[in-house]
Structure 1
Amino acid sequence: MPHFICVRFQVDGRIVVVHESWLVGEAHCRWPQSGNIEEMVKSATKPKSEWGVWETDILGGDDDYETCARRAYSTQQSWGLHHKVGGSGGGGYVPDKDLIAAIPVPTSLTPQPVQANIRYAVDYINELGRRNSHEVARETPPTTTTPTTTTTAKKRKAPNENAEVKATLDRLEESISTINKNISLRLKNIEDKLKPILQAELLSSGSKTPEFEEEEEQDEEEDDAETRNLTVLSAATTLEQLNEWLDNQDTFAVSKKVTCTHLRATVRKFVKACMTKSVARQFSWTGFGSRRLKTKISFRDHKVFNYLLDVLHDTPHRHASRAEIADSIKKVLTGVGDWDGGRTARFSSFPSIAFFP
């Protein structure tokens, strides 16, 4: 392979001479952003990681730098571009530093998303407009051109181009939004048309739709509730009666009677339904008193606790955790003394306060 390669930058069509070690595959090459590029090419300077990677077309090559440079110059002229290749000694092309910084060249040939390509095209158009303004100001005689006028020319031209590009992007976004809405409406219409057809096919094949199965389950639950005995026995007055109550009473009937919106209210109603106040006062959650002595019956170790779990399973509180249920039982058993008017009697025992005028 020749040492010096003649390539054409696809970003602006300029033709330059690079060293063979600067090539990246067959469609890209590295290019320095500063320095004496002609000497770097002749001396075969090793490319650095900070150099940009540009998409190029390989036009030919030669072992002699001067020969390759002359071919690059003649090829550039045949392309009809207005940019010369190389310096006084046939040097390589030095891309504009602002263009290198403003227009990133992809390092791979992987297709990019549409929005990324649009933004890349917008940046490229803006940079070309800025460079054209700069070249027009540079060709004006020095007597009439100053850095201030060049900056003014760029500032006057760039907003117009930016406005046009922005308007184009707005139109594209509006078109994409309209297309998405139309697709959503079309899919909704298709779904509405297919739904009765699918239901008819399922019914004809003997299978049932989820909605139909849910309605059937609700009907079965209602029929089951009507056919089952919903009678609840009276509250037990002794521990022996409580054991008989737990053995003979249907949990489903109790769940229908004690169900409340809150878990604690449901537990309180259950305890009142299965035992009287005198029996309930014999229970505590652990069975231990204030001095950690076994003074009461442990609610958690009695079969009434497992019975309560079965009742809650038939209520909306079936997903309550053991900790939540235990907390509710503790608070209900603590307030047993306030049942049957106990709170009113307790407050009436307080001495009354006389107010004198």
Structure 2
Amino acid sequence: MPHYICVRFQVDGRIVVVHESWLVGEAHCRWPQSGNIEEMVKIGTKPKSEWGVWEIDILGGDDEYETCSRRAYSTQQSWGSHTKVQTYPENKDIPIPPVPTPQNVSSADRSLMETEKDTASTTSRALLSHNPRKRKAPSDSELKATLKRLEQSISLINKNLSGRLKDIEDKLKPILNDSSTTSFNSGNRSPLITPSYSPKYDRNEKHERHCHTVRSPANTMEELDEWLDAQDTYAVAKRVSNVQLRATVRTFMKCVMTKALAKQFSWSGFGSRRLKTKTSFRDHKVFNYLIDVLHDTPHRRAPQSEVADSIKKVLMGVGDWDGGRTRKFASAAATSESFPTIAFFP
């Protein structure tokens, strides 16, 4: 296919040269609203989404821009002498593409074209002065044809926009899937949200019914499983919600399990000597339950890294629950006072 195409705008009969990449099918093409159009055609500028789409007739083409431009100019002159350009009513808002300037035409040809333009303008004014009647309104068939072309152009634009939106959605889908399944720590580990747990109610229900009673903390693993299966997350969220994320996680831990049971958990399941001596919190369904609870609190958009860091620090401080920190400080103070004070004299 030639690189440069000679086309005629059906809306007003103008004949111009466009690049082959500007064609949209065989009956439409894109046309820029501003800029050096001649230079854009020569270098084959890639069409942009904001360019208009116009209905055209393809007249021919050539691999050389100068040859195609001369043919377009001569064709415009020959057509202009015997072809009647379609007219529209004055109150009809019909889009017309920007007036294309003559492309690669010599100064003599340009002056000749300007002279013919002035002559045509003078002749039209003279005809209007002798014939004061208004222009004849287009027939119903012409209006229907024009409306049909506009509908086709709008349909084509909508189709192109839908295709672009589909491409963007396809590009973002892998990123969203990766972000939802990436674990808090690097490595080839299983996803944090295990498929074994699912919320006990549908968040999209129009009329949700919640139980606002919160059960007592669980003492054993069996009681913890029953607690998670029977307890409504909405009531727990209202009970444990705090301004700070770590305080919310700590209150949740104390609400769900006792201090003795909480000591059996660690984030990864490793004990102080890096041995698998504890239950992994991130692999237990209590973690998924916590995620559902946070969804009903002001921390629903908290990053996963902050949630993981808060859980780790809360699990490390389980020993300070129920006054453990106060007893620790009191014991340290008593130990320091039990030793005699040694005075050194000169």
Same fold (TM over 0.5): no
* Bucket of the pairwise TM-score, normalised by the shorter protein: 0.3 to 0.5
Which has the larger Rg?
Answer: 1
TM-score by structure 1 length? 0.36
TM-score by structure 2 length? 0.37
